[in-house]
Amino acid sequence: MHQWTTSELSYIEENAGKVPTHQLRKKYGCSLDALRGAKKRINADRFMKGLEPISLRFDKPLFVCPNCNQKTDRIIARSGWCKACTDELKLDSYHHRLEIVDREAQRVQELERNKAREDAVKRELDNLKQKKRTVVKTLVKHDLSARTEKDTVCETVTTTRDHPYSEGKRPE
């Protein structure tokens, strides 16, 4: 077991949490257990002095998130914010994108409704055109037969009137 000197103990007390344990172990060529033993001794001493205990847990250097001003051990490069803020940002942009998609879907639906209405109008127009064609055909047929009848009558009349025998003249 490592025999700790007072200066070593005060160095550990000073640097606990600021220097990774593997570096302390390398510096003193000791095991993790030996380091923990040192910590126990330091903390017992600090307890007597009414001081907070030290921890060997190495805290990574902290950054301050510019969005929430909270200390964080990790800044997400893409956003420049902490993970929580980045997640919120992602959620915001997700919601934003969702809104855009919703609006687009509504527009498409409206266009489809308009198209359906247009199609219905077009069908109705086609029906009317078809009806008109039938009516015109019927009219034309009637008109033609009427005219044919009239023409026949006229012809008959003409024939009767203009016929040389019509006035009782008998051929000689």
Kindly list the residues in this chain that would bind Zn ion in the complex (CB under 5 A).
Answer: 65, 67-68, 81-82, 85
Least separation, in Å, of the C-beta of 108 and Zn ion?
38
Least separation, in Å, of the C-beta of 78 and Zn ion?
14
Select 27 or 74, whichever has its Cβ closest to Zn ion.
74
- Structural tokens at position 30: 């000791």
Select 47 or 94, whichever has its Cβ closest to Zn ion.
94
Q: Are 84 and 76 in contact (CB under 8 A)?
A: no
Residue type, 123: R
Select 68 or 125, whichever has its Cβ closest to Zn ion.
68
List, in order, residues 6 or more apart from 56 with CB less than 8 Å away. Answer: 16, 17, 21, 24, 35, 36, 39
Least separation, in Å, of the C-beta of 88 and Zn ion?
8
Residue type, 29: G
